[in-house]
Amino acid sequence: MTAAAAPELREAAQRHLNEVLDDLRTLVELETPSNDKALLDAGLDGIEAWLGARLGAPAERTRFAGGDHGDVLELRYPGTAEAEVLMVCHYDTVWPRGTLAQWPVTVEGDRFSGPGCFDMKAGLVQGVWALRLLRAAGLPTPAVRLLLNGDEEIGSPASRPHIERASEDAVLTLIMEPSRAGRVKTGRKGMGLFDITATGVESHAGLDPEAGASAVHALAGLVSQVAALENPAQGTTVNVGVFTGGTGRNVVAGRAVCEVDVRIQDPAEMARIDDGLAALKSADPRVEITVSGEWNRPPMNPNAETRRMVALAREVAADLGGDLGEIAVGGASDGNFVSALDRPVLDGMGAQGAGPHSRDEHVQISGTPHQIALAAALMTRLAEKG
């Protein structure tokens, strides 16, 4: 690929920008909340129809049932080279049914706003247009395996095995999650979600307090121990985000639960946290403490193959007249699964913008042609290198 090809791809993306934004509107107006199976199924049907219009029929198609979660759609589009790139895009969002009625799609100045536009329907649109423009330009094109999952926002319980399998033979997995101001995400924290439950003995708080054993009091006494498991020097954070319990102010509480979010950068921290949670004991022996939950995602730390791909992406960014920055972030993604298998992955290859999971969520329109060209030029370089 000549150095001129990347700017030409960006110019082509700029010419088609209105179509790109129309496509983004189409996808955003398909509401796909993670916990609404009916909307997820309908949304995926609509996305597949749109893909057919933009890329034609795939050479291979499989739709895997997601159970209570969104289905996984896997499509393979052949290229001019044997090298295969896996492109992972989640179509679920954090926004509940009916959000569009209060927050419709708006385009004002350099902002495209709407529920799920930045995280991450813009990434899906950009990835599809990158492949479309490569074909139109007649440039070397890798085979692209497109994997769409509808459960990423809740930890990818149904789609994880499909992502891990599909990434095995890929020369690179592109995670089309939002970028951070144009920077790729080469580090992400692993994530553990745990519930700590205290089961005590109920009694009347006024007439018979000694007969009771308060689950609320016992669990409250353990919160500081849970928080003390945090280790900022190692990149480990612990947050007790929800605490519930009891049935009334005049009842010694028989049950209490706290919900804990743990983030780690060092894989060795998983065992330390597990041991710390297992060691929790109530000061009142009548109150039983149980811990449930699991490690939702392993940490993502750049492996040697990922480093090689970052270097290649930097060359492409230089052809576009800029530098590709990289950043480590606290949030997790499907890239964590691929990286943990020591496979090459570039995360944060999607939209520029801000405000994920908030009403400020928006895509920066002016950054869209650059991001499309970056993905397209990187893919054609991979096709050339085989």
The catalytic residue positions are: 92, 152
Dihedral (Cα; 231, 265, 324, 333), 10-degree rounding:
-120
Using CA atoms, how far apart are residues 223 and 196, in angstroms rounded to an integer?
10
Residues 6+ apart with CB under 8 A from 22: none
Q: Are 130 and 379 in contact (CB under 8 A)?
A: yes
- Return phi, psi of residue 165, to 5°: -65, -45
Q: Are 44 and 149 in contact (CB under 8 A)?
A: no
- Give the position of tokens 């990286």: 339
Rounded to an integer, what is the distance from CA 185 to the centroid of its chain? 12
